[in-house]
Amino acid sequence: MSPLEIFIDPFSAPSYLALKPTFELCTELKVVPTWHPFRAPAERRTSKDLDADVRQRHQRVRQEYRDHDYARYAAWQGVPFQRPALSTNRDLIDYALIRLGDSPEATRFLQSLTAMLWGGYSEPEASEFAELAGLPSLLADFQSEGADVLAAESRRVEPLGIFDAPAYLIDGELFIGRQHLPAIRQLLTVGDPFNIST
């Protein structure tokens, strides 16, 4: 079992922006994480017409800021940032990631997948995902057990209290967002910076 579990949504901007520094950290520390799919909450875009409602206005302003923030960091990181269309193959993608789990192939799968999704390329057909994931029997396996595996994963994840992605779980401690990478680095190297156990 890897010391680091990472919950990721390849379709969400914060997950996408976290991947490069996360890959770099794992490579540097020679840590192979266990990857899990997690569906980030849908982005809620409201119209200015609803600004009279402070809740709606707050959501709109916050979402507009996030869009601006993600685009700016993508530009600074030098990574493409074309928002992907919602996929009809999301369950299949989630299943592939669960199957890959703590295999080193999971990293390659996520790199290839997000490069396509965010680089403006067409998403692969369902039949092409098997090659992308390096799992020849992916489609057949998905059809026979996919629903059960995804349901079991949901039941396992729910009590963890994860509400957004990327989420990092290490020694039972949950971190949501790439901003925690320095703490995660310390946990993986010299120990707990927060004295969580005391």
Partner 1 sequence: MIDPMTSESPLIVYLDIKSPYAYIAVEPTIALGQELGIRIDWRPLTLNIPSYLGSARTDASGKVVQSERTPAQWNAVRYAYRDAKRYARLRGITLYGTQKIWDSSLAGIALLWARQHGEAAAVAWLRAVYPPFWRRELDIENVAVIEATLQHAGVSTNGFDAWLNGEGRIQHDALQAALHPVGIFGVPTYIVAGDRFFGREHLPAVRWLLSGKQVPAPVAVYPLDTTP
Nearest distance, CB of residue 62 and partner 1, angstroms: 5
Minimum CB separation from partner 1 for residue 1, in Å? 23
* Residues 151, 153, 157: CA angle, nearest 5 degrees: 120
Closer CB to partner 1, 148 or 161, in the complex: 161
Judge whether 18 and 166 are in contact, CB under 8 Å. yes
Least gap, CB of 134 to partner 1 (angstroms): 29
Smallest distance, partner 1 to C-beta of residue 5, A: 16
**Smallest distance from the beta carbon of 117 to partner 1, in angstroms?**
20
CB 9, CB 15: distance < 8 Å: yes
Q: Do residues 93 and 129 make contact, with C-beta atoms less than 8 angstroms apart?
A: yes
List of residues contacting partner 1 (CB under 8 A): 21, 41, 51, 54-55, 57-59, 61-62, 64-65, 68-69, 72-73, 76-77, 161-164, 173-183, 186, 193-196
Specify the residue, 148 or 158, whose C-beta has the smaller distance to partner 1: 158
Instruction: Please give the DSSP secondary-structure letter assigned to residue 179.
Output: G
In the bound state with partner 1, the residue whose beta carbon lies nearer, of 7 and 142, is 7
Nearer to partner 1, 113 or 167 (CB): 167
Q: Is residue 164 a contact partner of residue 176, using CB atoms and an 8 Å limit? A: yes
Tell me how long the chain is.
Answer: 198
Whether the Cβ atoms of residue 168 and residue 177 lie closer than 8 Å to each other:
no
